[in-house]
Amino acid sequence: MRLVIKNLPPKITESNIRTIFEEYGTITDIFLMKKNELVNRGVCFIGYSKQEYAREAIRQRHRSYVQNRQITLEMVRDEGLKQLTKELKSMGSESNRDDDDLPVEIKSKSLYLTKLPPMVCKEDILNYFSDCSVKDIEMLLDEKTGKFYGHAVITMNDLESAKKAMERKDVLLGRRISVSFYKEPSSKKTYYSQLFFNFESVVESICNEEKITRKELLNLKDENLGTRISLVETHLVEQTRRFLENNNINLDNLTGKVNKKVLIVRNSNLLSLNFRSCAIKVAPSKCLALLEFKSEEAAKKVYDELQYRRVKDKAIYVDFLPVSKVEHKEIEFTNKIIIKNIPFQANKEEIKRILTSQVKLKDIRLPKKRDGMHKGYCFVTLNSPEDAKAVYQYFGNNTHLYGRRLVIEPAQK
């Protein structure tokens, strides 16, 4: 239940207000409207966890004096919310807009709840949405502290329940919560960075493996230099992808959750580090490792020790292990693929040189514009759907050419 207090002294603080009003019951939140850092607008909202606490505060403090100012207390009821927002807007608050009458467009059965009271539990949320068909509630925890921070995801069984939930304007434990549609986190985009090897890493890996110098490798007169770097990078990425899949990490089916007992550590000088009290699995590239600990506390300690620490002027990057779904999405292939995002300085021979390192081609067609430049995509015909699938799996994750990632997809039938 929420209260609004008016005619407060202009220099009173939230701390002062909490000291005065917390004796009447548990306060969930306080919002003091301000003109600037030193002066407030004389209006404050207080959320109580129970209605009787709010009633007692009104009974004791309505028309009482605070720093020689007579204050007034009122219940904030649903029917009075529109009037309050109009008052607030007239006082210059741009953050409180009267959007209750806007139509709700139903986009998803999953909703994102914010501004939840810190003491709320799943049962409280179920009671709040008692007239809705709730399928699941997930209380979100802060990744660093592991504590609930007022955010949750609720999934309904049908769109009608989602609509009811979006239109609800009641208060929960003294606080008016915010409900919006939930967008699935872009896990694939986030965690592909763990596979990406920048130019420096690729060059260093080639030099170490082939026992050659940078000068010998980066011969600018070599017309095949671009495709050579591209093929080596793709090989490193594919090796790493298989390494992760062998350890039950599928980057195409991430859940957005993390295993806080396992760390992914990336650094080109990884073997020079001394890891303790954990099981270690090192990727073939020697630039990525999985560290498995017996407890989350031990993993968090190493996370804090290693994150952004520098080894030979190169930073260490540490992430908690992303959790994958088990299912695999099958894609239908013909013997044709399309390659997009081709850099304009690349030509047909370079594309062909990259692909024929793994399979044989029947034909490659690079459409051109009137000025003779190609359009940035090409069609490739292979001998079989199996070859098309092999190209997609090997090159489709992270193949770069002249700094641009090639987008490889099955061609439509």
Cβ atoms of 24 and 56 closer than 8 Å: yes
Tell me, yes or no, whether 50 and 138 share the same domain: no
Tell me, yes or no, whether 194 and 319 share the same domain: yes
Cβ atoms of 389 and 370 closer than 8 Å: no
Tell me, yes or no, whether 218 and 274 share the same domain: yes
Tell me, yes or no, whether 72 and 150 share the same domain: no
Residues in contact with 317: Cβ distance below 8 Å, sequence separation at least 6, in sequence order: 194, 265, 266, 267, 307, 308
Looking at 163, 181, 199, the residue that finishes a domain is 181
User: What are the beta bridge partners of residue 408?
Assistant: 339
98 within some domain:
no
Tell me, yes or no, whether 193 and 323 share the same domain: yes
Which CATH number belongs to the domain containing residue 65 in this structure?
A: 3.30.70.330
DSSP string, 168-221: ----BTTB--EEEEPPPP-HHHHHGGGT---HHHHHHHHHHHHT--HHHH--TT
Of 146, 150, 143, 168, the C-alpha closest to 114 is: 150
> Rounded to whole angstroms, how far apart are CA atoms 73 and 47?
12
Q: Give the number of domains in the chain.
A: 4
> Rounded to whole angstroms, how far apart are CA atoms 243 and 250?
10
193 within some domain:
yes
- Which pairing describes strands 279-282 and 69-70: parallel, antiparallel, or unpaired? unpaired
347 within some domain:
yes
275 within some domain:
yes
373 within some domain:
yes
Tell me, yes or no, whether 236 and 284 share the same domain: yes
Looking at 181, 212, 239, the residue that finishes a domain is 181
For 349, list phi and psi in degrees, rounded to 5: -65, -35
Tell me, yes or no, whether 406 and 383 share the same domain: yes
- Domain carrying residue 61: 2-89
Tell me, yes or no, whether 393 and 340 share the same domain: yes
pTM, full prediction: 0.42
95 within some domain:
no
Distance from chain centroid for Cα 125: 24
> Rounded to whole angstroms, how far apart are CA atoms 58 and 24?
10
The first and second tokens of residue 165, run together, are 């939930």
Kindly give the confidence (pLDDT) of every residue in the chain, 413 residues in length, as a single tens digit, with 9 standing for 90 and above.
Answer: 788 899 999 889 998 999 999 999 988 888 888 887 788 888 888 888 888 899 999 999 999 999 888 999 998 764 445 555 555 545 444 444 444 444 556 667 889 999 888 878 888 899 899 889 998 898 888 766 778 888 999 998 888 888 888 888 777 876 778 888 887 554 444 444 545 455 566 666 667 666 777 676 666 566 777 787 777 777 777 777 788 888 877 776 777 788 899 988 887 666 667 777 888 888 877 778 889 999 999 999 888 888 877 777 677 888 888 887 755 567 889 999 999 999 888 899 999 999 998 899 999 999 999 888 999 999 999 999 999 999 988 887 678 888 788 889 888 76
Tell me, yes or no, whether 197 and 302 share the same domain: yes
Tell me, yes or no, whether 206 and 249 share the same domain: yes
Looking at 153, 181, 209, the residue that finishes a domain is 181
Tell me, yes or no, whether 211 and 322 share the same domain: yes
Tell me, yes or no, whether 158 and 176 share the same domain: yes
